C-alpha cells in the first residue's frame, strides 16, 4: 500500500498505550498505524514521540487591516505570525476569540458580522486549522436567534465577560444567552472575574496612590475570581449550559469548580501557562508590566493547586490565551492598574514549557500532557477525533516531539511579533522537531515550511462538549473497565451532545463518511436511565458496513451502520457487547485504534477501528464473556493469543427510532 507520507519509527502515543510504529498518511489523514507500508515521501522519526498536534482553544489573533480600522492599539500577531508561533511550538489548531468592533459606519458589529469579517480575514493568513469563538459583548442587545444562527453556521460556542460590571449585573441577559447556547449545542465560555469588585479595587488603589502597574495583582483579587466562578456555576445549574471557564488562576476558584463537577454540573476548566510557571513575586521586578494578564499572577499555593488539578483531572485544558504585545507597549509608563495591557505571547512556549515543567519533572504523565494540550480541547469543542488523536481516520496533525532536546527560551528569536517571552532565559527540555499538519510537513528542524492560507476553518455543529470526568458514573466506569486492552480503559469520559446523526443511527459523521479510508468499526452506545433524558437503559453495539455490503446499502440509501445487538437491558449483557470488536493480526495499534468516542446526553458512544485498510485474515469470533479477564492486568491477558470479534450478532436492519 503506497501512502503520501510515511513517518518511520516514532513512538506513537495513544491513551494508555505507546508503541514504536510507522504512520501511513494519505489524503491528509492517518490511514494506517503499524504494519507494512511504503510512502511517496518518508520521514525518519526514530527516537521521537508522535503526539497529536496541539489544539489551543484560546488565542487572540488579529487579522491584518483591523488595527488600522479600529484606531487603537491591538495585539500584534495576525493569523500568519500566530500560525508560525503555534506550529513552532507543536500546535496545529487554534480557537480564536472574535470581538465585535465598530464597523465602517462606527456602529458596533453584531457577533455574526464580526464572525463574517474574521472568517474572511483569517482565511488567507492562517497556516494552522482554526475555529472562532463569537464574543457577546452585549447579550441583552443581541439580534433575535443570533446564538442559534451562529451555531447553525458552525460556530458552536459563545464567550462572555463577567469582568464587565454591566454584563455581570444583567443576570437575565446572561441566562438568556446561556440558555440559547445550551439549546444550540454551543459551549458558553466565561471570563470569571467579578466586574464590580474589580472596579472598586482599582479605584481604591488609585485613590490611595498605589495605581502603578506593580500593584496590578491587588486590583484583581482572588475573591473577584471566586465570586464570578460562583456566578458561572449558577448559570450552568440554572440553564444546563455547558460552561467553560477560561484561564482559571486560583486554588479557591478551582475548588469551587471541583465541587460543581462532583455535583454533576457541566463545568469545564481551562488554565493557562502563566499560572503554572509564574507567581506574583514577578510584580516586584522593575518591568512588572510585562507579566500583566487577567486574572493576575497568584501565590505559590495557587500554582501548586493548579498543577495538582492537571494531574487529578480537575483542569481540562491548558490553553495559551496568546495575546501578544511588544515589550514597549507593555511597559508604557502611562498605564496603571486599571489600564495595563493584558496578555502575553505563549503559543510557541505552551507545549514545551508544559512538557518540561510537567512531564519531565513527573508532575503529569505523557497521557495527561496529550489530553491537556490536544484531546480535551478537541472533545469540548466538537473536533474529536478529527483533532486531538493519533488514530486511523484522524487528520494527520502530528507533533514529532524530541523529548531530550534542550533549548533556552529567547523571545527575541521566536515567531511571535511580541519580540519577548515572559520565560526568557528558562531552560526547557522537550521541543517538536517536526510538525505535520494535515499530512504536510509544516515545521522541520526549526524551519517553518508552511504558507499563509494553508490552514482550514473547522466548522462545529452541535458537537461540542465532553462531560467532566467527575460525571462518569461509577457503574459506567466499571463497565468500560471490563473492555479488553489498556487503551479502552483509559479514556472513558462520556461526551455530551454529539451530532444527532451519529447518535441515532443515521450514519457516521460527515467527515468520516467522506473518508476514503475503508475501515471496520464497532460502536457502543448507551442510554442511561439515571441521567437527564430519563429513557430506559439500553445498550447497543453498532458496526460500520464495509465492502460490497456498504455499497449495497449506500445504493439503497440505507444506513451503513448495523445495530448488532439492540435493546439489551442489563449491564452484564452490555459488557458482553463491549468486548466485541473487530481485530486483525498486526500491531496492537492496528488492531484497535480508538477513533471516536462521543455521546449525547447520557449516550456513550465509542468507535473502535479495526484493520485500517485490509485485514490480512478474517477476524475470528469469540463467545461472549470470554474476555472477562482481559481487562488491563487481568489474569487472562498473557494467554490471549487471538483477537476478539462480535459474537455473531444478528444484524438489525431497521433504523432505530430517535431517542431510543
Judged by phi (left if over 0) then psi (alpha if -120 to 50, else beta), residue 640 lies in beta
Which residues, 6+ apart, have CB-to-CB distance to 526 below 8 Å?
Answer: 476, 537, 538, 539, 540, 574, 599, 602, 603, 604, 605
Candidates 301-309, 313-321, 421-429, 478-486: pick the segment binding Zn ion (CB under 5 A): 313-321
Give the x/- contact pattern for Zn ion in 557-596, rule: CB under 5 A. Answer: ----------------------------------------
Candidates 168-176, 316-324, 475-483, 513-521: pick the segment binding Zn ion (CB under 5 A): 316-324
Asked if 605 and 389 count as a contact pair (C-beta separation under 8 A), the reply is: no
- Decide whether 78 or 321 has the Cβ nearer to Zn ion: 321
- Decide whether 291 or 480 has the Cβ nearer to Zn ion: 291
d(CA 275, CA 302): 8
- Decide whether 293 or 494 has the Cβ nearer to Zn ion: 293
Candidates 16-24, 236-244, 314-322, 597-605: pick the segment binding Zn ion (CB under 5 A): 314-322
Of all residues in the chain, what percent are helix, strand and coil, respectively (each to 5)? 30, 20, 45
180's grid cell: 440559547
In the complex, minimum distance from the CB of residue 206 to Zn ion, in angstroms, rounded to a whole number: 25
- Decide whether 191 or 462 has the Cβ nearer to Zn ion: 191
In the complex, minimum distance from the CB of residue 290 to Zn ion, in angstroms, rounded to a whole number: 17
Asked if 393 and 517 count as a contact pair (C-beta separation under 8 A), the reply is: yes
In the complex, minimum distance from the CB of residue 97 to Zn ion, in angstroms, rounded to a whole number: 6
Return the DSSP state at 355: I
In the complex, minimum distance from the CB of residue 392 to Zn ion, in angstroms, rounded to a whole number: 35
- Decide whether 276 or 562 has the Cβ nearer to Zn ion: 276
- Decide whether 192 or 544 has the Cβ nearer to Zn ion: 192
**Cα distances (Å, whole numbers) of residue 634 to 63, 162, 240, 486:** 54, 49, 39, 10
Return the DSSP state at 325: -
Start-to-end CA distance of the chain, whole Å, equals 41
The string over 291-302, giving b where at least 16 C-beta atoms fall within 10 Å of a residue's C-beta and e elsewhere, is bbbbbbbbeeeb
Query: Residue 586: CA atoms inside 13 Å, Cβ hemisphere, count?
Result: 26
488's grid cell: 479502552
Candidates 79-87, 272-280, 321-329, 540-548: pick the segment binding Zn ion (CB under 5 A): 321-329
Number of residues in contact with Zn ion, rule: CB under 5 A?
1
3-class DSSP state of 132: strand
270's grid cell: 481551562
d(CA 23, CA 38): 10
Judged by phi (left if over 0) then psi (alpha if -120 to 50, else beta), residue 497 lies in left
For the chain, how many residues are written? 660
Candidates 221-229, 250-258, 318-326, 419-427: pick the segment binding Zn ion (CB under 5 A): 318-326
- Decide whether 12 or 62 has the Cβ nearer to Zn ion: 62
Does 346 bind Zn ion (CB under 5 A)? Our answer is: no
- Decide whether 58 or 627 has the Cβ nearer to Zn ion: 58
289's grid cell: 508590566
- Decide whether 302 or 321 has the Cβ nearer to Zn ion: 321
Candidates 20-28, 163-171, 315-323, 432-440: pick the segment binding Zn ion (CB under 5 A): 315-323
In the complex, minimum distance from the CB of residue 383 to Zn ion, in angstroms, rounded to a whole number: 19
- Decide whether 73 or 534 has the Cβ nearer to Zn ion: 73
**Of 56, 321, 348, 454, which lies in the binding site for Zn ion, with binding defined by CB under 5 A?**
321
Residue nearest to Zn ion (CB): 321
In the complex, minimum distance from the CB of residue 98 to Zn ion, in angstroms, rounded to a whole number: 12
Q: CA triplet 341, 347, 351: central angle to 5 degrees?
A: 130
In the complex, minimum distance from the CB of residue 220 to Zn ion, in angstroms, rounded to a whole number: 14
- Decide whether 220 or 527 has the Cβ nearer to Zn ion: 220
In the complex, minimum distance from the CB of residue 322 to Zn ion, in angstroms, rounded to a whole number: 8
- Decide whether 136 or 503 has the Cβ nearer to Zn ion: 136
d(CA 492, CA 495): 9
Candidates 192-200, 317-325, 345-353, 580-588: pick the segment binding Zn ion (CB under 5 A): 317-325
In the complex, minimum distance from the CB of residue 419 to Zn ion, in angstroms, rounded to a whole number: 20
In the complex, minimum distance from the CB of residue 248 to Zn ion, in angstroms, rounded to a whole number: 12
**Cα distances (Å, whole numbers) of residue 526 to 143, 480, 523, 541:** 38, 11, 10, 9
In the complex, minimum distance from the CB of residue 321 to Zn ion, in angstroms, rounded to a whole number: 4
**Cα distances (Å, whole numbers) of residue 136 to 122, 183, 278, 546, 555:** 20, 17, 30, 45, 45
In the complex, minimum distance from the CB of residue 396 to Zn ion, in angstroms, rounded to a whole number: 29
In the complex, minimum distance from the CB of residue 59 to Zn ion, in angstroms, rounded to a whole number: 8
- Decide whether 77 or 395 has the Cβ nearer to Zn ion: 77
Which positions lie near Zn ion, rule CB under 5 A? 321
Amino acid at each position: 500500500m503506497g501512502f503520501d507520507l510515511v513517518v518511520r519509527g516514532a513512538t506513537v502515543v495513544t491513551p494508555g498505550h505507546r508503541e514504536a510504529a510507522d504512520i501511513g498518511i494519505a489524503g491528509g489523514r492517518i490511514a494506517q498505524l503499524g504494519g507494512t507500508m511504503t510512502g511517496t515521501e518518508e520521514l525518519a522519526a526514530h527516537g521521537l514521540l508522535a503526539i497529536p498536534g496541539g489544539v489551543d482553544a484560546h488565542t487572540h489573533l488579529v487579522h491584518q487591516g483591523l488595527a488600522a480600522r479600529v484606531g487603537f492599539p491591538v495585539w500584534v500577531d495576525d493569523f500568519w505570525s500566530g500560525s508560525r508561533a503555534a506550529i513552532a511550538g507543536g500546535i496545529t489548531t487554534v480557537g480564536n476569540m472574535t470581538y465585535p468592533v465598530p464597523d465602517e459606519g462606527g456602529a458596533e458589529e453584531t457577533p455574526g458580522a464580526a464572525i463574517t469579517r474574521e472568517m474572511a480575514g483569517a482565511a488567507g493568513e492562517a497556516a494552522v486549522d482554526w475555529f472562532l469563538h463569537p464574543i457577546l459583548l452585549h447579550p441583552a442587545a443581541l439580534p433575535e436567534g443570533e446564538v442559534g444562527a451562529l451555531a447553525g453556521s458552525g460556530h458552536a460556542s459563545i464567550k462572555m465577560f463577567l469582568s464587565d460590571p454591566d454584563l455581570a449585573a444583567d443576570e437575565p441577559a446572561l441566562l438568556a444567552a446561556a440558555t440559547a447556547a445550551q439549546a444550540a449545542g454551543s459551549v458558553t465560555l466565561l471570563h470569571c472575574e467579578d466586574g464590580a469588585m474589580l472596579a472598586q479595587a482599582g479605584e481604591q488603589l488609585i485613590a490611595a496612590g498605589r495605581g502603578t502597574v506593580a500593584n496590578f495583582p491587588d486590583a484583581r483579587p482572588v475573591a473577584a475570581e471566586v465570586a464570578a466562578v460562583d456566578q458561572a456555576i449558577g448559570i450552568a445549574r440554572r440553564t444546563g449550559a455547558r460552561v467553560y471557564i477560561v484561564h482559571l488562576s486560583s486554588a479557591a476558584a478551582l475548588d469551587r469548580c471541583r465541587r460543581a463537577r462532583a455535583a454533576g454540573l457541566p463545568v469545564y476548566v481551562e488554565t493557562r501557562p502563566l499560572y503554572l510557571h509564574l507567581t506574583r513575586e514577578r510584580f516586584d521586578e522593575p518591568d512588572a508590566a510585562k507579566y500583566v494578564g487577567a486574572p493576575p499572577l497568584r501565590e505559590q499555593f495557587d500554582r501548586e493547586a493548579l498543577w495538582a488539578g492537571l494531574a487529578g483531572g480537575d483542569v481540562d485544558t491548558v490553553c495559551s490565551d496568546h495575546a501578544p504585545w511588544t515589550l514597549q507597549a507593555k511597559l508604557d509608563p502611562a498605564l496603571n492598574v486599571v489600564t495595563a495591557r493584558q496578555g502575553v505571547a505563549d503559543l510557541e512556549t505552551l507545549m514545551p514549557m508544559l512538557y518540561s515543567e510537567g512531564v519531565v519533572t513527573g508532575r503529569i504523565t505523557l497521557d495527561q500532557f496529550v489530553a491537556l494540550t490536544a484531546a480535551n480541547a478537541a472533545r469540548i469543542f466538537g473536533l474529536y477525533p478529527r483533532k486531538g488523536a493519533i488514530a486511523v481516520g484522524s487528520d494527520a496533525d502530528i507533533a514529532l516531539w524530541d523529548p531530550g532536546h534542550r533549548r533556552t527560551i529567547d523571545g527575541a528569536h521566536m515567531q511571535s511579533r511580541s519580540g519577548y517571552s515572559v520565560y526568557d532565559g528558562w531552560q526547557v527540555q522537550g521541543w517538536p522537531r517536526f510538525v505535520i499538519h494535515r499530512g504536510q510537513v509544516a515545521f522541520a528542524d526549526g524551519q517553518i515550511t508552511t504558507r499563509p492560507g494553508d490552514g482550514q476553518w473547522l466548522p462545529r455543529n452541535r458537537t461540542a462538549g465532553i462531560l467532566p470526568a467527575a460525571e462518569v458514573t461509577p457503574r459506567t466506569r466499571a463497565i468500560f473497565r471490563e473492555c479488553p486492552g489498556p487503551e479502552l480503559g483509559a479514556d472513558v469520559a462520556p461526551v455530551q451532545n454529539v451530532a444527532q446523526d451519529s447518535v441515532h443511527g443515521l450514519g457516521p459523521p460527515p467527515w468520516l463518511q467522506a473518508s476514503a479510508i475503508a475501515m471496520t468499526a464497532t460502536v457502543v452506545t448507551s442510554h442511561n436511565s439515571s441521567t437527564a433524558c430519563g429513557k430506559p437503559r439500553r445498550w447497543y453495539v453498532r458496526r460500520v458496513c464495509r465492502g460490497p455490503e456498504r455499497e449495497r446499502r449506500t445504493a439503497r440509501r440505507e444506513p451503513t451502520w448495523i445495530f448488532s445487538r439492540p435493546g439489551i437491558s442489563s449491564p452484564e449483557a452490555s459488557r458482553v457487547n463491549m468486548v466485541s470488536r473487530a481485530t486483525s493480526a498486526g500491531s496492537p495499534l492496528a488492531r484497535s485504534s480508538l477513533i471516536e468516542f462521543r455521546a449525547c446526553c447520557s449516550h456513550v458512544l465509542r468507535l473502535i477501528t479495526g484493520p485500517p485498510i485490509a485485514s490480512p485474515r478474517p477476524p475470528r469470533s469469540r463467545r461472549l464473556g470470554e474476555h472477562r479477564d482481559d481487562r488491563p492486568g487481568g489474569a487472562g491477558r498473557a494467554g490471549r493469543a487471538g483477537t476478539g470479534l462480535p459474537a455473531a450478532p444478528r444484524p438489525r436492519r431497521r433504523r432505530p427510532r430517535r431517542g431510543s
